[in-house]
Structures are given as structure tokens and as C-alpha cells.
Amino acid sequence: MLVGIGLMPHGNPVLNPEDEETRRLAEVLEEIGREFSKADSYVIISPHNVRMSEAFGVIMAENLVSWIGFGGIELPGDYQTERELAREIYGRAKAKGLPVVDINFASLGGEYSRFPLTWGELIPLHFLEKRPLVLLTPARKVPRRILVGFGEVIAEVLEEDEKRIAFIVSADHGHAHDPNGPYGYAPEAKEYDKRIMQFIKENKLEKLLSISDELINKALPDSYWQLLVLYGVLKKVPMKVKATAYACPSYFGMGAALFVRS
């Protein structure tokens, strides 16, 4: 059963907030952690793991291990994959003709079946109690309807499972907020972030489909594709928005949202 959804950023500023907006953002992440303490496992989709443009990834490695931090901060953490759940998501998506691959490394199982976790997973997981999890990766070059369809498959699988499962969407928004940042400045980053957070607050993620490719390309987000997957999940399992927050203390915007069952 899907017990809730957390939209969680993966930027270092949430670990040590230095301004009021970022402190509020961290508070919402802590609230997500409290809400999901009743979950038996997590499914997390992250843009900073395997990078595949035309296929979704379902990580089948038995052990997920901390590998690389971000900005000089490393978060230790070893997790176990909920492999039966991972197999079910993969198999259901494959059966529906979606572009999906199963990914392992070194060994099919046991101690040598290991896969790395990055800041894209470890920062959201920092706010959550430790549980087995399934790691998924998005795909940027598939049609929008396919991204939504993958979310629908995830929702179906999680709803049918006897365990209590939380879905985590790891995402940061526009990366062009600061002319001195690594990606420079584009006004579209602010516009993208404003629209995204409004859609989330209104709980109208269907409006994501109206965002132009031009705006996305100029804003440089790493959230849009996961948000379409989130929209697919919510199409199958409608939820209400319990809390949201947004901050932009650096060159990229960060948003958080907690969705709970009505």
C-alpha cells in the first residue's frame, strides 16, 4: 500500500540551513521523515544515479552503498534493496511495453552485488528512518506520456503490495538562478520554479504537461521528468498536499512537498 509521497531536494544547503526559507524547507523534510516512519520500505526515483536517456532503470543490486558526496559533504549509508518489489515494478513496466531495464553489478546476489548511492539519494534518505528501498532512475528523452505511464505502473504495484511503502521523488529545480553559478543566469529558472511550486500547492500536476520544452531547456532543472512520474502515481492514487516549502540559497532552486492519503 502506498502510504504517502515525498518530494525531496538533494542539495547540501538543507543539511545546514543558513536562511529562513531553507530552514523552513528542512522542517518540511523532517516532517516527511516523521510521516514516513510508519513505512516498511521506500521507492525512490533519483536523477543522479545511472544516467540513461531513453530507458528507466530499476536497480536490482542487493546492496546499495554510499559512494560519493556533493560539495565536500559525504553521507555514509548502506541500504538493502527490496528486491521482490523491484522485480515487480520492472516486470509490470516491461509487460506494458515501457522502456525499462534492470541493473545489477558484479554479482547477481550476495555481498558482491553492490551499487553506489550518490547525493541524489543520500540527502533525501538522511531525513528518513532507515528502511529497505527500491532505487529507480528517470529517462529524459522518452515522451511525456511514457513518463506518466511509468508513474501509473509504480502506483499500481505499490498499492497491491501488502507492505506500507512511501514513494520518494528526489529533485531540484532550475539550476540557472545565479550568474556566478556553474550554469550562469537565465530568468527562466525563476519562472520554472514558480510555476512548478504553484502546480504542487494546487495539487494540479496535470499542468506540467503545458510547460514548454524551451522553458525547461533554459531553466536547467533536474526535476521535470521525475515530476511527470509523480503525476502518474497521483493519477492512480490521488492524495492531498499536507506541506510544501521552497528555497533558493544557491544557484539552484529546491522544493519539498508531502502528499498523504485523503
Sign, CA dihedral 227-148-169-37, equals positive
Asked if 15 and 176 touch (Cβ cutoff 8 Å), the reply is no
Looking at residue 131, its pLDDT comes to 98
Looking at residue 73, its pLDDT comes to 79
Q: Provide φ and ψ at 199, rounded to 5°.
A: -60, -40
CATH number of the domain at 2-261, please? 3.40.830.10
Q: Give DSSP secondary structure letters for 145-179.
A: HHHHHHHHHHHHHHHHSSS-EEEEEE-B--S-B-T
- pLDDT-derived band of residue 247, with 50, 70 and 90 as boundaries? very high
Please state the rounded mean pLDDT for residues 196-210: 98
Domain locations in the chain as residue ranges: 2-261
Looking at residue 262, its pLDDT comes to 85
* Nearest alpha-carbon partner for 78 in 122, 39, 34, 38: 122
* Strand pairing report for 114-117 and 2-8: unpaired
Q: What is the pLDDT of residues 16-54, one digit of tens each?
A: 999 999 999 999 999 999 999 999 999 999 999 999 999
Q: What is the pLDDT of residues 124-164, one digit of tens each?
A: 999 999 999 999 999 999 999 999 999 999 999 999 999 99
Question: Is it the case that residue 69 has pLDDT exceeding 80?
Answer: no
**Percentage of the chain exceeding pLDDT 70:** 100
Q: What is the pLDDT of residues 165-183, one digit of tens each?
A: 999 999 999 999 999 999 9
* Nearest alpha-carbon partner for 230 in 257, 253, 254: 257
